[in-house]
């Protein structure tokens, strides 16, 4: 039987070797927010079902969503949705074959992050103004 010699093939660098960069983190966050949106959508459907079911069911859902924990979850959901949607627009722009210069990639990542925070705050201010 022929002997197999170990071959020194180049190894793929492990994730820990990479220096974390904004663009890399944004890519991970895009996937994470996408997954968080699944959970958020389940809550949205539950809220709609409660509204359709009965006054009691809706009152319970409203009570849960207006608790501090519920509000925190809703705040996170708003941010995840906006962050993910802005990220989606970034991908759409790339799909046109533009925006691949390093400086533009960095700028769009920062705009995505800052935009998601600013828009989340705006949405909540408007929601509170409408609610008051």
Does position 118 bind ligand HEM by CB under 6 A? Answer: no
For residue 13, which phi and psi values (nearest 5 degrees)? -65, 140
For residue 5, which phi and psi values (nearest 5 degrees)? -95, 140
**Cβ nearer to ligand HEM, comparing 56 with 95:** 95
**Cβ nearer to ligand HEM, comparing 57 with 94:** 94
Question: Which of the residues 58 through 77 are near ligand HEM (CB under 6 A)?
Answer: none
Name the one range near ligand HEM by CB under 6 A: 5-13, 18-26, 80-88, 106-114. 80-88
> Which token pair is 58?
């809706």
| 76 contacts 36 by C-beta, under 8 angstroms | yes
Q: Total residues contacting ligand HEM (rule CB under 6 A)?
A: 12
For residue 18, which phi and psi values (nearest 5 degrees)? -70, 140
Indicate which single residue of 25, 35, 51, 72 sits in contact with ligand HEM (rule: CB under 6 A).
Answer: 35
Q: Which residue blocks in the chain are alpha helix, DSSP H?
A: 22-53, 55-65, 68-95, 102-131
Residues that bind ligand HEM (CB under 6 A): 30-31, 34-35, 37-38, 41, 84-85, 88-89, 91
């Amino acid at each position: 039987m022929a002997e197999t010699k170990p071959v020194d093939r180049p190894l793929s660098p492990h994730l820990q070797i990479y220096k974390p960069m904004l663009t890399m983190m944004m890519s991970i966050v895009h996937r994470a927010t996408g997954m968080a949106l699944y959970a958020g959508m389940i809550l949205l459907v539950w809220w709609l079902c409660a509204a359709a079911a009965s006054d009691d069911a809706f009152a319970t859902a409203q009570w849960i969503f207006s608790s501090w924990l519920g509000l925190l979850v809703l705040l996170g959901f708003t941010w995840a949705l906006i962050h993910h949607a802005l990220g989606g627009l970034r991908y759409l722009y790339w799909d046109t074959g533009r925006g691949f210069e390093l400086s533009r990639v960095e700028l769009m990542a920062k705009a995505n992050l800052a935009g998601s925070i600013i828009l989340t705050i705006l949405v909540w201010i408007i929601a509170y103004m409408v609610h008051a």
